[in-house]
Structure 1
C-alpha cells in the first residue's frame, strides 16, 4: 500500500510534523517544498520552525534515511497536500497554492495513488482537485467521474494546537472525508498508521465544513469576549473579574479577551464560510469583523496613553515597548498575528516614537518591521526599563517574571490580563 512512499507537499507547521509522525512508523517520506532554504535545512536535519520535540524527530528521520526533502514532486503511493490557503484582499479564498500542488502531482500519477488534501479549505475544494486532475490527466478516471476511480481523493484537515503539535498529531481524533466511501477508506489507512485517536469517516465536503465550523465556533466565542472587554471598559469594570464570576455558572465558559485573533486558522477560516454562503453567514461575519477591529482599539488605547503623557500626535520622544509579536503564547508563528499588526500600525502612525519590539521566540525582526527607522528589536528587561508605555500583546512565559514593581511609573496596557 505504501510501497512507493508518501509525498508530503508543503513543509510548514503541519506538513513537517506530519512527515515526522509518518517516519516514526517506519514509512518512507518525501518532503516537498518550493523554498530551497527550507529543503536544505531539513536535509541537514534541522527544523526551520519552533515546535517542541519536532527538531529531534526530524533529525532522527533524516539520519535514518526515512525522510528526504526536495523541491520536486516524486512518484509516490500517497500524496498529502499541506500548503497555505490564504484569502485574497476581498476575503475570497486563494486556492492557487493547492492548484500548483495539483499540477505538480498530475504528471506523476500512474493509477492506484491516493491524494489527500490536509490544507484547510472552502467546501468543495477536494472535488475541485479531482476536476483539475481530470483536465490535466484525461487518461485517468477521477472520483467525481466514477465510483471506481484510478486515483482516490480525500480531505483530512489538521486539528493540532501550535506548541502541542507533536502530541496532538497522534492523539487527536481525525475526520477523513472521501469523494467516495472507498476514497475515505483508502485515506484512513494512512492515518491509522500513527493516529491513536478515533478516525471518523464522512464525505469530503462535510469534512471541509467541519474544520471551518470548529474554527468559526472559536472565533464567535472570542468575539463575544472581546466585545465584552470593550463594554466593561466603557463601564469602568474589570472584564477579567466579570468573566471569572460569570464562569462560576455551571454552563458558562467565557473565553478571555485579547488584542485580536491570529494564526492561519481562526483568523482565516470563518471567511471561507462567509464566502460560501454570504447571505446566511451573518453572525460569523460579524464575529470576524469584531475581532478584526480589535487591534485598532488597542492602537487607540496606546495613543490615548501617549496623549496623557503629553506626547505629540506623532509620538515625539515617547518609547513604547511592544511585548510579543507571535499570534499566541510561547511559539514563533507570526501568521495573521494581531500583535504584529498592532506593532506595525504603531510604527506607521507614530513616526516620532521609538518602538521596542520584544519577541523572544524569533532571532530577527520580521520583514514588515525590519529596516524601519523607529523600530528596534529589544530584550524584555531593557524594553520595559526604557518604555513610557508598556503594551503586553502576547502572554509569553518569558514575560511572566515581570512584576508591578518593574512596571512602576509606566503606562501599562495589558491586553492579556497578565498583571491584573
Structure 2
C-alpha cells in the first residue's frame, strides 16, 4: 500500500474498474492515479475511516451520507467520529488535498464514480435481517451505475446477499445486463477505537466477487488499500460468510464463558481463574464472562444465519443468544447478592453504574447490557445512579440519575458496578466509595483498596 494518495484527478479520464481488457498493472496504475473515482456510501464510525484511507491511497473519493450535518462536517475537513486515533488528522489532510469530498446526493455520486463501496448498517426486524438501508443505497447506486463499474459490499450482510440481492437490484434499476458491471463482497474487519489500523491492514483482507473479473479488480484495489495479505475466496457468498462466522464464533464462545460463570457459586471456584489456566492448553480459547454482549455486531450476526435461513436448525445459535441476553438479569442478581453479603438493609439501596455503552471507550448503546441492568435494577426498587462520558442523551434512561464524572468520588452509594471499561474510570479512588464494587469488565487493579466482585469469580476477589 502506498498510503500517499494524489490530488483529486478532476481532469483525468474516468476509467472503468470492471475492465477485462486491462492488465493488473494498468488497473493498479489507474486506481492510484485517481482515474478510477470511488464513492463510499455511509460515513459513520466505520465508513468515514474507510473513505479516508481510500482517499489517502487513490486521491479521488466522494463520501456519501444522508445526514447533512455529517456531510457539512466532513466537507469542512472535520471529523464527527470520536475516539479514533489519527482519524481527525487524516480527514483534515485528505480534504485539504482535495482527495476527499462529501455529499448527500448519492445518485450524483454514483454517476461520477466507477467504484461504489457500500458501508451502511444491516439492522434487524425482530430476529430477521432488515436490508432496507442496504437496498436504499443500492437504488441510488443503480440510478447512476455505468458499464464497467464495480460495487463493493464492505458492510456485513447475510451470506448470498451480494449474489441474490445486490446484483439483481442493480441490474433492475440500472437497466444494465449482469456482467456489464461487477460486484464483490469485501467485508470490513474493523473495531471501534482502532479503525484506521484495521482498515490499513491489521488483518488479511477478504474479497470475493460474483465472477472472476469482480474478484480480480477487488483484489487489485484492496492490495493497495491494505498492507496485509488479500485473501480471494471462491465467491462473494463465501466472503460474506467469513465475516458472519467470525461474529457467530465470538457470540457462542462468550456464551460458553457466561454459562461457565454461572457455576462459580455451585463449584466454589473462581471460574475466571479456571478459564485463564484452561487457555494455557493450545486447543482451548475460552473468552471472558461479563454482564452481557452488546454493539451492532456480535448480537446481530447470529441472526444473519438463523433469521435469514430458517430452514436450518439453529439451536446452538439461539441457545448462545439466550445465555448472553440473560446476563444483564444475572448481573442484577449478583448485585443483589453482593449487597446482601455486605449487610445493606432497606428496600432501596443506591447503586452506581459506571458505563452504559456496550464496551469501553465506545459511544455505542445498541444492544448494550448497561441500560438493561439499569432498568432491571430500578424495577427492584433500587435507586440507580449512572455515569458514562460517552453518553450525551440521557432522556431514554427513565429512572436513572446521571452523575457528572467530576462528582463520582463524592457519591454516597451502597454498591458500584463497572459495566463498560472506559479509560476515564481507571484512576478513580475506589476506596472513596466505601462500597463493594462489581467489576464486570476486569477494570480494577489487583491491589485496589475495596471489596471487589466479578462475574464468575470467588466472592470477594
TM above 0.5: yes
Give the CA deviation at 1:117: 0.8
Query: 1:206 aligns to what?
Result: 238
Q: 1:77 aligns with which of 105, 111, 114?
A: 114
Secondary structure at the aligned position of 1:296 is classed as: helix
Determine the C-alpha separation between the residues in 1 that align with 2:336 and 2:182: 56
**Retained in 2: the 8 A contact 1:323–1:380?**
no
Return the offset for 1:301: 2.8
Instruction: Decide whether aligned partners of structure 1 residues 380 and 36 sit closer, same or farther in structure 2, where only a CA change above 3 A counts.
Output: same
Asked if 1:387 corresponds to 2:413, the answer is: yes
Residue of 224, 235, 244 corresponding to 1:193: 224
Q: Measure, in 2, the Cα distance between the counterparts of 1:185 and 1:34.
A: 31
Partner of 2:183: 153
Q: 2:364 aligns with which of 333, 337, 348?
A: 333
1:224 to 1:384, Cα distance in 2 relative to 1, 3 A: farther
* Partner Cα distance (2:366, 2:394) in 1: 11
Q: Are positions 1:129 and 2:166 aligned together?
A: yes
Question: Please, which of 174, 177, 193 is the counterpart of residue 163 of structure 1?
Answer: 193
Q: Distance in 1 between matches of 2:373 and 2:169?
A: 40
Specify whether residues 356 and 366 from structure 1 end up closer, same or farther in structure 2 by C-alpha distance, changes over 3 A only: same
SS of the aligned residue for 1:115 comes to strand
Asked if the contact 1:358/1:378 (under 8 Å) is kept, the reply is yes
Matching residue within 79, 94, 101 for 2:130? 94
Q: Secondary structure at the match of 2:190?
A: coil
Tell me, in whole angstroms, the C-alpha distance in 1 between the residues paired with 2:425 and 2:120: 33
The residue number in structure 2 matching 1:145 is: none
CA contact (8 A) 2:183 2:214 kept: yes
Please state how far the C-alpha of 1:406 moved relative to its aligned partner: 3.3
SS at match of 1:101: helix
Q: Which of 393, 403, 426 is the matching residue for 1:365?
A: 393
Q: Shift in Å at residue 303 of structure 1?
A: 4.3
Runs of 5+ unmatched residues, structure 2: 1-14, 16-30, 445-460
Contact 1:240–1:417 (CA under 8 A) maintained in structure 2: no
CA contact (8 A) 1:321 1:383 kept: no
Alignment check: 8 A CA contact 1:22 1:193 kept = no
Distance 1:151 1:353 in 2: 59
Unaligned residue ranges in structure 1 (runs of 5+): 143-148
Q: Describe the superposition over 1:382-413 as per-residue Cα deviations: whole angstroms up to 9, x where unpaired.
A: 267332220111122222224552343x1322
Offset of residue 380 of structure 1:
6.5
CA contact (8 A) 1:7 1:78 kept: yes
Q: Tell me by how many angstroms 1:193 deviates.
A: 2.0
Cα offset, 1:259, TM superposition: 1.0
Query: By how many angstroms is 1:337 displaced?
Result: 1.8
| Number of residue pairs aligned between Structure 1 and Structure 2 | 402
Pairwise mapping of residues 223-372 of structure 1 onto structure 2 (< 5 A)? 223-278=255-310, 279-305=312-338, 309-312=344-347, 315=348, 318-347=349-378, 349=379, 353-362=382-391, 364-369=392-397, 372=398
Secondary structure of the corresponding residue to residue 24 of structure 1: helix
Q: Deviations over 1:357-379 (max 9, x none)?
A: 222334x235532xx35421421
CA contact (8 A) 1:6 1:28 kept: yes
**C-alpha displacement of 1:134:** 2.3
Moved more, 47-56 or 79-88: 47-56
Q: Give RMSD over aligned pairs.
A: 2.1
The alignment partner of 1:87 has SS state of: strand
Distance in structure 1 (CA, Å) of the matches to 2:55 and 2:132: 29
**Given that residues 327 and 337 in structure 1 are in contact (C-alpha distance below 8 angstroms), is that contact kept between their aligned partners in structure 2?**
yes
Is residue 69 of structure 2 the alignment partner of residue 43 of structure 1?
A: no
Q: 1:280 and 1:380 mapped to 2: Cα distance?
A: 51
Give 1:381 shift.
5.5
Match of 1:181 among 200, 212, 222: 212
Q: Work out the CA distance in 2 between the residues paired with 1:103 and 1:383.
A: 53
User: Quick one: structure 1 residues 193 and 344, their matched pair in 2 at CA, closer, same or farther if it must change by over 3 Å?
Assistant: farther
Query: Does the residue aligned with 1:42 lie in a helix, a strand or coil?
Result: helix
The alpha-carbon distance between structure 1 residues 367 and 281, as it changes in their structure 2 partners (threshold 3 A), is same
Aligned residues of 1:233 and 1:239 also touching (Cα < 8 A): no
User: Displacement, 1:354?
Assistant: 3.7
Residue 78 of structure 1 and its aligned partner are, at CA, apart by: 0.7
Looking at structure 2, the residues matched to 124 and 396 of structure 1 have their Cα atoms a distance apart, in angstroms, of 37
Partner Cα separation in structure 2 for residue 193 and residue 320 of structure 1: 51
